[in-house]
Amino acid sequence: MADNRLPLIASDQLPAVDDCWNRIGVRGDKSCERLAKHIHCRNCDVHAAAATLLLDRYALVRDDADLVESPADDGRERRSTLVFRLGDEWLGLATRSLVEVAAISPIHSLPHQRSMALLGVTNVRGALVACLSLGELLGLEKGGAATGDRRVVPRLLILASQGGPLVAPVDEVDGIHGIPLDAVVDPGRSPDLAARQFAAGVVHWRGRSITLLDEGLLLQAMARSLA
């Protein structure tokens, strides 16, 4: 079977970020001429731009071993899971179905398309890839914006389907976590579970209730939306 996954972005393939704050800033020799005006690097627009660049190029850099269940140091079997938010719901997806987490890019609508879930197409490193609404597929209501002081940045999930990569925008990505399999609860025991028909389980993780999605069912639904 052909490998339809897009290549992962390795850290050594990305342009270097000039960490001037460590060389000539407050953590370096303090020779930067901007310090006279800004006092501290955190007040400087150069520092802010570098921080934004680092956040916006967040991608999954992992070995194939990260995609399979493996025992952790505590002896508990865990699954590498990407945790993300759609509206008010936190969801989890096994990283074995994931190619990359990318920055948001423009989505171009398609004329005469009948699928409510198909948002259009977006450019992924020179290729036009179908972009679908997970909220529509999962039957989730649109929630409000996240509250608090933390920086929230929408992302694109690039998923590996049998017919080729598919893209889905999400409201926020929390990160990749090793979810203990013995902590996962059967979805049938959660009466108010989100996205029930696609749920493989639910887990309470770091103060959140996370619905774990069955990637096989989800990818099948996404493929049907393109037919």
Structure tokens at 180: 């203990």
Q: What is the pLDDT of residues 163-200, one digit of tens each?
A: 889 999 999 998 888 899 999 988 876 666 667 888 89
Question: What value does the mean pLDDT of the chain take?
Answer: 78
| pLDDT confidence of residue 56 | 46
169/101 Cα distance (integer angstroms): 10
| pLDDT confidence of residue 58 | 39
Closest CA to 166 of 225, 102, 83, 222: 222
More confident residue, 59 or 43: 43
C-alpha R_g of the chain: 20
Structure tokens at 121: 């197409």
Structure tokens at 203: 């887990």
The CATH architecture to which 64-224 belongs is Beta Barrel (2.40)
User: Which of 72-76, 129-133, 142-146, 206-210 is predicted least confidently?
Assistant: 142-146
Which residues belong to CATH 2.40.50.180 in the chain? 64-224
User: Which of 60-64, 71-75, 161-165, 191-195 is predicted least confidently?
Assistant: 60-64
